[in-house]
Amino acid sequence: MSGQTWRRALVTGGAGFVGSHLCGRLLAAGCDVVCLDNLATGSRGNVAELQQRAGFRFVRADATDPAAWRALPGRFDLVLHFACPASPVDYLRLPLETLEVGSTGTRHALERARADGARFVLASTSEVYGDPLEHPQRETYWGNVNPVGPRSVYDESKRFAEALVTAHRQAHGTDTAVVRIFNTYGPRMRTGDGRAVPAFISQALNGMPLTVAGDGSQTRSLCYVDDTVDGVLALAASGEPGPVNIGGGEEITMLDLARRIVEITGSSSRIRFVDRPVDDPGRRRPDTRLARERLGWQPSVDWTEGLKRTIGWFSRSVAA
């Protein structure tokens, strides 16, 4: 954490995939952690082990509910706002809730950070770039987003949240930062959340065909969750306002990803091509020079090793 020590942190969405890893890392560093999550997409199982440890508190509440914020006792010196459905299956099922947590939820989190004098970090996303016309994507790129397409509830929620964070910083001097997260994967992903890595792994482990969208030529740049957490906390410990891209530097096609997962699992599964979703980005890779130069961050787990760890976790989960 770049030498930074926080006494007490709030993680909204802390029972989610990335949020739970953040909670664990902060707790291990000696920080008391409050996890606020309504469990719309998160899971108590993700924080079950943490709840046995001193310094951790789970609060089941909605980040859009002002009463929930009033009920949180004490003062925080770090607020990480990670509450938001992040997979297509979830945000298409919860479109209004997704927009609401990006707007009202972000505002409540900002107001608490301002009142407490806390450092605030917004979890934004590579989806703010839409189907990019610039490659790789720099933080200065404004994006190519369809504001009324099926993915817009997530894209525009995050774009509005970024604007709100920026306005709060300018109007009130709130100590804020924005991190744009690219295609994180690892243990605790849900098999049914619609994202490629857990879907392919689950299919391969069960001997089912791996469903590759379109012809599989679209690319993503995978970043293992431990590296993502490193990047988020490095940004939190810095004075940088962002936005800062955090993501993997190696591009892989979805077809190659599916084939590699079949190979690592030793599965006999075949590839089955299915219709490609509307507005699915064709290429996605972050320019991470800013993170390297300003935060001293770069990913350390290559995607082959990360996939092995993730597949191992899924295999153990299935066996349990």
| 267 found inside a domain | no
| 273 found inside a domain | no
Q: How many CB atoms lie within 10 A of CB 134?
A: 14
- 141 catalytic? Reply is no
The pLDDT tens digits for 129-147 are: 999 999 999 999 999 999 9
Give the total number of structural domains in the chain: 1
* CA dist., res. 9 & res. 191, Å (int): 29
| 311 found inside a domain | no
* CA dist., res. 37 & res. 11, Å (int): 8
* CA dist., res. 18 & res. 281, Å (int): 22
* CA dist., res. 169 & res. 114, Å (int): 9
Mean pLDDT over residues 31-58, rounded? 96
pLDDT band at 283 (very low <50, low <70, confident <90, very high): confident
At 318 the pLDDT is 65
The pLDDT tens digits for 147-170 are: 999 899 999 999 999 999 999 999
pLDDT band at 2 (very low <50, low <70, confident <90, very high): very low
The pLDDT tens digits for 184-219 are: 999 999 988 888 999 999 999 999 999 999 999 999
At 194 the pLDDT is 81
Distances, alpha carbon 54 to alpha carbons 13, 28, 207, in Å: 20, 11, 42
* CATH classification at residue 81: 3.40.50.720
Q: Is the peptide bond before 73 cis (omega within 30 degrees of 0)?
A: no
The pLDDT tens digits for 228-262 are: 999 999 999 999 999 999 999 889 999 999 999 99
| 15 found inside a domain | yes
- What value does the mean pLDDT of the chain take? 94
At 317 the pLDDT is 82
pTM, full prediction: 0.95
pLDDT band at 311 (very low <50, low <70, confident <90, very high): very high
| 155 found inside a domain | yes
Our CA angle for 155, 159, 160, nearest 5°, is: 120
Q: Taking the chain, what is the end-to-end CA distance rounded to the nearest angstrom?
A: 33
267: phi then psi, degrees, rounded to nearest 5: -75, 155
pLDDT band at 278 (very low <50, low <70, confident <90, very high): confident
Mean pLDDT over residues 15-36, rounded? 97
| Residue tagged active-site, from 91, 129, 141, 154 | 154
| 217 found inside a domain | no
Contact 31, 6 (CB under 8 A): yes
Burial class (CB in 10 A: 0-12, 13-18, 19+), 278: exposed
Q: Which residue range forms the structural domain that includes residue 27?
A: 8-184+224-247+283-300
| 265 found inside a domain | no
Q: What is the phi-psi region of residue 2: left when phi exceeds 0, alpha when psi lies from -120 to 50, beta otherwise? A: left
Token pair for 275? 């219709």
| 1 found inside a domain | no
The pLDDT tens digits for 63-73 are: 999 999 999 98
DSSP-based three-state secondary structure for 71: coil
